[in-house]
Amino acid sequence: MCPLISVSNLSKTYASGFVALKNVNLDIKQGEILALLGPNGAGKTTLISIICGIVNPTEGTVTVNGHDIIKDYRQTRKMIGLVPQELTTDAFETAWGTLRFSRGLFGKKANPKHLEKVLRDLSLWDKKDSKIRELSGGMKRRVMIGKALAHEPEILFLDEPTAGVDVELRKDMWHLVKELRNSGVTIILTTHYIEEAEEIADRVGVINHGEIVVIEEKTELMRKLGKKQLTLELQQSLDQLPAEFRPYNLELSQDGRLITFTYDIHAERTGITSLLSQLNETGIRLKDLKTTQSSLEDIFVTLVKDEPE
């Protein structure tokens, strides 16, 4: 299936000389939730801004549904809804007024029923006549989402949708994103909350210093880069590990009570059975054991750290 959004050799150098994106290539599939992770200043917002038409690219092309974003901007932008990072709204306008404005701006005929549905879905219906400046921060963010959904977009960009949002609202937001995806909307979100990507994304891309370091199916990424660790708690502490355990990737804690065994879960032989039987033969008795799998956060930290400056 051909990608819904295709980014080829995209670069952006700002007038100040700052290189925000370096030769980025990226395909986004219809109906997926793609999370773009990366530290501040990595180029996430620049990438989104170029696709949406806010920033001009220095080099490279982007197509949306086969249309070039510059030449056929009317076709591409009609399909896209954008929720920017900053809470920028017309403070004196009402929630209803601002959604109506957005719908018109994107070339759609007025449709009060649709706007009502959007506001109800965002739990904003009772605030429709309130001026935006009278709303709380969380409500303002929902108004921004409402504006982006007012013209029934097929693609939704959420730039840091949950930055500065409390836990409850964040969960609501995740729920909303999943519902939108179920209704067929393709969603691209940037975040630096790893648990967010872990919770809702189908695919995860990591951007650092303007380059895509990795982009994978979330489960695949965790499988590929995820390590598993077996932690063994001993009945009696050890001064050092006996020599016969050297072939294993083991680590003894300082107090000598914990042995950590790092292994590759996908290897044909993980070595767990032989390790355990060897421990038994050596007379090392276990008190407890547990296994842990590295999270997306560990993977992310490793990737970003490994990146050369």
User: How far is 175 from 83, CA to CA, in rounded Å?
Assistant: 16
Q: What are phi and psi of 4, to 5 degrees?
A: -75, -45
Do 81 and 156 touch, CB atoms closer than 8 A?
A: yes
From 89, 180, 75, select the one nearest 99 (Cα to Cα): 89
DSSP 191: E
| Residue 147 contacts another protein per CB under 8 A | yes
Binding residues among 215-274 for another protein as defined by CB under 8 A: none
| Residue 40 contacts another protein per CB under 8 A | no
Burial 32-57 (b: 16+ CB within 10 A, else e): bbbbbbbeeebbbbbbbbbbbeebeb
Residue among 22, 29, 67, 78 that touches another protein (CB under 8 A)? 78
| Residue 104 contacts another protein per CB under 8 A | yes
Do 257 and 285 touch, CB atoms closer than 8 A?
A: no
Each residue 47-66 as x (binds another protein by CB under 8 A) or -, in order, gives -----xxxxx----------
| Residue 70 contacts another protein per CB under 8 A | no
Residue among 27, 59, 68, 86 that touches another protein (CB under 8 A)? 86
Smallest distance, another protein to C-beta of residue 287, A: 58
| Residue 112 contacts another protein per CB under 8 A | no
- 132 or 194, CB closer to another protein? 132
CA atoms within 13 A on the CB side of 242: 10
User: How far is 155 from 213, CA to CA, in rounded Å?
Assistant: 24
Choose one: 101-109, 114-122, 224-232, 246-254; the region binding another protein (CB under 8 A): 101-109
Residue among 84, 161, 210, 226 that touches another protein (CB under 8 A)? 84
- Tell me which residues touch another protein (CB under 8 A): 14-15, 52-56, 73-78, 80, 82, 84, 86, 88-93, 97, 100-109, 147
